[in-house]
Structure 1
Amino acid sequence: MPDARVAILLSTYNGERFLREQLDSLLTQSHPHWTLYWRDDSSSDGTVAILEEFARCAGQGRCVHVQGPPERLGPTVSFLTLLAAVKDSLGNEDVVAFADQDDVWLPEKLARGVAALRGANTDGPVIYCARQVLVDDGLRRIGLSRGLEKPAAFPAALAQNVITGCTIMMDRRAAALVAGSIPASATLHDWWCYLVVTAADGLLLHDDEPVVLYRQHNHNVVGAPRSMARRAVGAVRRGPNVFMNVLRQHVAALQAQPHLMSPKARAQVAAIDRALKGGPIRRLAALRMPGLHRQTWQENVGFWAWFLIG
């Protein structure tokens, strides 16, 4: 797998401000075997012109423009449209990587992901993610994204998303699994990938070494909280409705596609569905399900409260 081809999937929308720095960072990658597949989601600025210029300069076959539907799809559907476009061309050793338009990749990003996927001791699907250096608009360091404090698997994936899309890399089996799924309308592409792969008894590999300069600015789709206190305040402001809506949609989407899940995951999702449709006693019983947790005790308190009343 050192020679694995990496299909980099880039969805853009009005990204001209930072896009050139991201594209330039692709050229610095120590793993040279990559192709950029890009789709623009109806930008009104100079994003497409920047991408076309990069394609001309990067060399023959280095960039592929995926046309797709002309209307704006939003980031989740746009990224999964790109994934569907490349899935049939992936070989056994090939890898898929998601890229955001406003970050900067560190030179070893692809190499670390390829090496981790190569070393995975499993016959099932594998998804890789990593920490990020948090930076401001001008790439000045703010801090480091959180590491994992508890195992990240299923059913924990229903309680919390712990992977960041700009660091995701998937092997061919994971990519095919996600590409053949229908996501919940309220989900994000990174959370959906995490759910689908782990529900199929796939393996999540988390790299504690940061691989991306993750730019924090006013137009981040999600962004990263800079502290536990800010995360808690943000959660309180949003209230339970947003989270519970996403949870219910994830449960419904998985139940509608039982072939995506292992028998154990199907039973777990069915139990959570029954609990959500039942009263407090049934919900309390569901919360004792092994593995249904968030990363910290503070986050678990909020999750338990929302699950019981939401």
Structure 2
Amino acid sequence: MTEIHPTPPGKPANGGTAPEVQILMATYQGGRFLQEQLHSIGAQRYTNWQLFVSDDGSWDNTRDLVASFAAQVGHGRVHLIEGPRQGATQNFLHLIQQAPDNRMLAFCDQDDVWHPDKLAFAVESLGEIKGPAHYAARTIITDEKLAPVAQSRRFNRPLTFRNALVQACMAGNTSVFNPDAAALLKSGVEAARLAKIESHDWWAYQLTSGAGAAIIHDPRPMLMYRQHSQAEMGRNDTISAMAKRLGKLFAGDYGSWVGANLAALSQCRALLTTENRQVLDGVVAALQCRGPFAAQRLRRLGLYRQTTAGTVALLAATTMGRLRQPLSSNNRSR
């Protein structure tokens, strides 16, 4: 492996100041694979980063590994804080709340291995964009020992709010946000926490796309996405994985996730563009209708998943009432 050498914040080729990236890592019992991930962060070609680790009560050697890495890379670059102990999603939301303002943010899983250019390519991709921007990339899916298995999916349809409302396409373990997009996350995070959203990366894709951010999906794989039995989330491109997710769609789990996302977005709707506020309101109203009418309205609103089969399955589940949301107290009073 590449050796880690403590380095001062880097300077870009044009002589300007390199923007600081706050890496947000949620940990829990991560000692088995954490050292390789920390090593890959230390080996990044882009050096102006700080690492915030929120640990959710680990009793293995996770904290010791973080402390050792902090000593290795130099004073003040690694910060260990206490997590909320409410699961991985709440831990990431907690990290967003605790992160400094006016910085780039990068989500980081405890068991992956980053390619040396990951941060450099993300910062480069985001650097020329005015206004909020959200970057993500493909991954190399591996087995437990990091032997490559496949590349993650490449999405061919546009990455928009109408897609984000019904599909998570911006992988959290690759996501990086420029300061304007990070500010959006910080503005909406308390609503997401209270709504008990299922997935921080799905919510982030919804909020950034809904607010009109530039959405960048790099076709180049930027990390090794390790699959193992303790992983919080697994790959979603195999037949068995898709069947499992389809089962959740028709069982109603997906409907409860959508409901939590809609609740979170509705509480910060002022952050969305005018058009996307109208889309959000239309979806909320549609999912309070009986199944066939709800599906018809979603189709008219132009919601879509990345494949035709996925969109058909979404509308079929909606027709069966699996996405129906209860009327709010405000709606009952009208």
TM-score w.r.t. the length of structure 1 is 0.92
Report the equivalent of 1:95: 104
Tell me whether 1:283 sits opposite 2:286 in the alignment: no
Alpha-carbon distance in 2 for matches of 1:63, 1:154: 34
**Retained in 1: the 8 A contact 2:46–2:117?**
yes
1:307 aligned to 2:318?
yes
- For the 8 Å contact 1:87–1:175, the answer to whether it is kept is no
C-alpha distance in structure 1 between counterparts of 2:33 and 2:245, whole Å: 29
Is it true that 1:179 corresponds to 2:190 in the alignment?
no
Of 42, 46, 51, the residue aligned with 2:66 is: 51
Residue 220 of structure 1 pairs with residue 231 of structure 2: yes
Q: Distance in 2 between matches of 1:112 and 1:38?
A: 23
Of 145, 148, 152, 2:152 maps to: 145
Alignment of 1:1-40 (within 5 A): 2=12, 3-40=18-55
- C-alpha change, 1:232 and 1:99, in structure 2 (3 Å) is closer
Quote how far apart the aligned CAs of 1:173 are.
1.0
Paired position in structure 1 for 2:243: 233
**1:114-146: per-residue Cα shift (whole Å, max 9, x none)?**
0000133x43x1100000000111110101000
State the distance in 2 between where 1:87 and 1:284 align.
Answer: 44
Identify the structure with bigger relative contact order (alpha carbons < 8 Å, sequence gap 6+). Answer: 1
Equivalent residues of 2:66, 2:80 under 8 A apart: no
Identical counterparts, % of pairs: 32
Other-structure match for 1:199? 210
Where 1:294 maps in the other structure, the secondary structure is coil
Q: Structure 1 residues 280-289 or 169-178, which shifts more?
A: 280-289
Deviation sequence 1:185-230 (CA, Å, 0-9, x none): 1321111111111111111100000000000111111111343x23
1:113 is aligned to 122
Deviations 1:147-176 (A, max 9, x none): 112011112101100011110000111111
Question: Which residue does 1:129 correspond to in 2?
Answer: 136
Instruction: State how far apart, in whole Å, the 1-side matches of 2:198 and 2:268 are.
Output: 15
Q: Deviations along 1:70-117, whole A, 9 cap, x unmatched?
A: x413112211211221232x3xxx421111100000000000000000
Partner amino acid for 1:104? V
Root-mean-square deviation (Å): 1.6
Partner of residue 256 from structure 1, selected from 257, 267, 291 = 267
Match of 2:76 in 1: 61
CA contact (8 A) 1:143 1:226 kept: no
Match of 2:88 among 75, 92, 106: 75
Decide whether the 8 Å contact of 1:132 with 1:210 is kept in 2: yes
- Of 157, 164, 167, the match for 1:157: 164
Secondary structure of 1:251's counterpart equals helix
SS of equivalent residue, structure 1 residue 245: helix
Secondary structure of residue in 1 paired with 2:31: coil
Match of 2:257 among 246, 256, 273: 246
Contact 2:104 2:177 (8 Å CA) reproduced? yes
1-structure distance, mates of 2:249, 2:223: 31
Deviates more, 1:239-248 or 1:143-152: 239-248
Deviates more, 1:33-42 or 1:105-114: 33-42
Structure 1, unmatched stretches of 5+, are: none
**Residue type matched to 1:143 in 2?**
A
Whether the 8 Å contact between 2:295 and 2:315 is mirrored in structure 1 is no
Does structure 1 retain, via aligned residues, the 8 Å contact 2:140–2:223?
yes
Task: Provide the C-alpha distance between the structure 2 equivalents of 1:180 and 1:63, rounded to a whole number of angstroms.
Answer: 24
- Aligned residue in 1 for 2:276: 265
Q: Report how far residue 231 of structure 1 moved.
A: 3.7
Specify whether residues 145 and 282 from structure 1 end up closer, same or farther in structure 2 by C-alpha distance, changes over 3 A only: closer
